[in-house]
Amino acid sequence: MEIQAAVTVKELKKRYKKFALEIPELRIPKGFATALIGENGAGKSTLLRILGGVRLDYQGGIEYFDDAMTDEEIRENTGYVGPNNYFMSHWTVDNVGKAGELLFDHFHRDRYQQLCRRLGVDMGKKSIAKLSDGTKMKTMLAAAFARDTRLLLLDEPASPLDPLMRDMLCAMLRDYLDEGDGERTVFFSTHNVADMENVTDYAIILEQGRIVEEGFVEELKEKYALVKGERGEEKQAEKLLIGCRRNAYGYEGLCLQSELEQLSGLDIAVETPTLSQICVAVMKQNTVLQMEEDVSA
Amino acid sequence: MGQLWKNYHVFFPRKWLLIGVYALPLFFLAGIQALGFRLFAALPEGRLAIMIPLFAGLAGTGCYLAECLLNTYLFLGIGAREGAQLEYLMTSGRGFSMLQKALFADALRRGAGALVCMGGCLSLYAWNGKGFADVAVCCLTGAFLVFLFEEASLLLSRCTGNLVVNLLVYYVGSGILMPVLMQYTQTGNIRVCGILFAADILSELIMERTLQKKGKERYYD
């Protein structure tokens, strides 16, 4: 079955003085939740801001929803949430609702108020600037979910939230997708891979402005194997292992399933990796940072 | 027109602030008129002509400072590259036009406020023997001057989020505005009034264009 794309990116380039985001091709699958994972400064926020229409200074093409939509229609169908400079700081939570009604055709103020209550956001007179980071994020999420959208772009929504709220966020995202009947898509960046794994269908790993790995989570788990071995054999294994590291018992690292046979002579245990383990290993393989704990270092 | 004010009022998070903004010029008007009448009754004949420009200077400078401080609260740094806090507006196709409408409504309100404030002070000239046309020209000259100073200061305030720079500009601006107001509101000069009116229109256009350009530039490096 061919998966349709909600967003198709082609030859996207955005250059800064010391950094360039270069994505030859990217298809965000329609009807799924896609996680964008990468270390700080990898280009996640830049990509999300470009897709959200907040930055327009890029080269390349972006096609939304496979339809010939106008810019205004795309914005109407897309909800973007970013961590910085999102609302005017002197606005109150109630102001956000008023502004939402004027800014978007399908903004439901009653739904916004319900979501605020559900997420524990006080509708009082406090200005946004005086709210905690977590409450600010909840307000942003309430404003995004109060609209009828087909695509949600969320820049690190889980970071300022407590574990309970992260769980609620996962449930909200899952409900959003389920109610969309395959027409709604979520694209979010996160550092909290473990917390967000149960809502992640597709993962994209970004390093130094390039996509280094992507795929459906189940496919990635079939592609890689978590290899654990005892001390003394790591020298032989490290050539095939990605992100190999020592622990109290020996070593562990990720190996491509297709190359697993080459480790057959060693005393190893093979397990299915979690998405978090896959991400860390792939990021370690591609990072420019010096990883001191790495066996090869 | 209703949509214009609806857009503008979104930027006012507090109802008391909204009431204050509209009531402030009327408060000035009532206060200065009452004070003017008392002084008019108490002062020897001819002295009021000296007091009126002083009223106008104080009231006009007060109006200018109140508007500058209000702007610091509402629209400080909205045209600056960083920290403009406009992402929510940017995600909407109508965001930019909503902001433009709000800024236009703000200019209208400030203009009306300056006129009411200066009208309150300078209409006292009517009791001092000046004709209606001269009084009207004086009122307009004062209002245009206050508006022009507001425009110049607010343009800077909206293009930089630096509060210290802004406060410095407000202090210097008020220091210059007061003697200028006292000077130009003593005599009704239709030519000065016309030049100021043209300068106000020009300054509003510059403000509009600069913010539009700055606002859109924020998208680019």
pLDDT of residue A85: 76
Is the pLDDT assigned to residue B145 strictly greater than 80?
A: yes
Is the pLDDT assigned to residue B185 strictly greater than 90?
A: no
A238: its two tokens: 């490290």
Is the pLDDT assigned to residue A262 strictly greater than 90?
A: no
pLDDT digits (tens, 9 = 90+) for A160-172: 999 999 999 999 9
Which whole number is the average pLDDT over A143-149?
Answer: 95
Subunit contact A57:B219, Cβ cutoff 8 A: yes
* Ranges A81-95, A111-125, A217-231: which has the least confidence: A81-95
Structure-model confidence comparison of residues B128 and A94, the more confident one: A94
pLDDT of residue B213: 73
Match 């992640």 to its residue by tokens. Answer: A200
Provide the chain B residues 46-85 that lie in CB contact (below 8 A) with chain A: 73-74, 82-85
Is the pLDDT assigned to residue B42 strictly greater than 80?
A: no
The average confidence (pLDDT) of chain B is 82
pLDDT of residue A295: 47
Structure-model confidence comparison of residues A154 and A232, the more confident one: A154
Chain A residues within 8 A of B91 when measuring between CB atoms = 52-54, 75, 78-80, 103
Is the pLDDT assigned to residue B220 strictly greater than 50?
A: no
Subunit contact A56:B89, Cβ cutoff 8 A: no
Total domains, chain B? 1
If pLDDT is split at 50, 70 and 90, which confidence band does B176 have? very high
Residue-number span of the structural domain to which B61 is assigned: 2-217
Name the pairing type of β-strands A59-64 and A5-15.
Answer: antiparallel
Chain B residues within 8 A of A76 when measuring between CB atoms = 92-93
State how far Cα B123 lies from the chain centre.
19
The average confidence (pLDDT) of chain A is 89
Contact by Cβ (8 Å): B152, B176: no
- Per domain, the residue ranges of chain A are 5-208, 220-286
The closest CB to that of B13, out of A53, A55, A92, belongs to A92
Is the pLDDT assigned to residue A113 strictly greater than 70?
A: yes
If pLDDT is split at 50, 70 and 90, which confidence band does A291 have? low
Neighbours of B101 (CB within 10 A): 19
pLDDT of residue B221: 44
Q: With residue A79 as reference, give the H or E element that holds it.
A: strand A78-81
Neighbours of B217 (CB within 10 A): 12
A284: its two tokens: 């370690």
Locate the chain A residue with the closest alpha carbon to B70. Answer: A90
Is the pLDDT assigned to residue A254 strictly greater than 80?
A: yes
d(CA B152, CA B139): 20
Q: At what angle do helices B190-217 and B95-122 cross, to 10 degrees?
A: 160
Q: Is A123 left (phi over 0), alpha (psi -120 to 50) or beta?
A: alpha
CATH of domain A5-208: 3.40.50.300
Locate the chain B residue with the closest alpha carbon to A79. Answer: B91
CA distances in angstroms from B105 to A223, A240, B204, listed in the order given: 60, 67, 12
* Ranges A79-93, A109-123, B71-85, B181-195: which has the least confidence: B71-85
The contacts of residue B72 (CB under 8 Å, 6+ apart) are B157, B163, B166
Rounded percentage of chain A residues whose pLDDT exceeds 70: 96
pLDDT of residue B215: 63
B107-132 burial: b if 16+ Cβ within 10 Å, else e? bebbbebbbbbbbbbbbbbeebebee
Give the minimum alpha-carbon distance from B71 to chain A in angstroms, rounded to a whole number.
12
